[in-house]
Amino acid sequence: VIDLLSLVVRTCLPKILAPGFFGVDAARVLHVLNEHAVGRTTLHELAKATNLTERSLSELVLRTTGFTPMRYLLELRLNTAMKLLRHTDRSIEQIARECGFRDRYYFTRVFTKHRQTTPAAFRREVKA
């Protein structure tokens, strides 16, 4: 039993108490990322807003969500866009801007790459 406990402590404790994570509230960090989801931001700006280093922020978000911070923001934007496409009649241009994409064309390209359908086709499918 002692050997098993020792093994658990040696393997799990460093992951739990990784440098930069002691006392860090992951929910607060994700809340800060949610607040920055729409605007154009950099990893450096996100790290500064969360009082973490870029590396610590990246590791924490990756462990918590399975995504890098920038990919997590992209997923938030795409999920918000999907809700707007499903529940509003706003134009794709309006939705693109509201979700932080520079224009409709870039939004369509990113949406298609990550959701395997265009925004217009997605809207038609969910409204049918």
Give, for all 128 residues of the chain, the pLDDT tens digit.
566 655 555 555 444 444 455 556 788 888 888 888 888 889 999 999 988 999 999 999 998 889 999 999 999 999 999 999 999 999 999 999 999 999 999 999 999 999 999 999 999 999 87
Q: How far apart are CA 64 and CA 88, in angstroms?
A: 31
- DSSP class of residue 118 equals -
In the prediction, which pLDDT does 11 show? 55
Compute the residue count for the chain: 128
Question: What pTM did the predictor assign?
Answer: 0.77
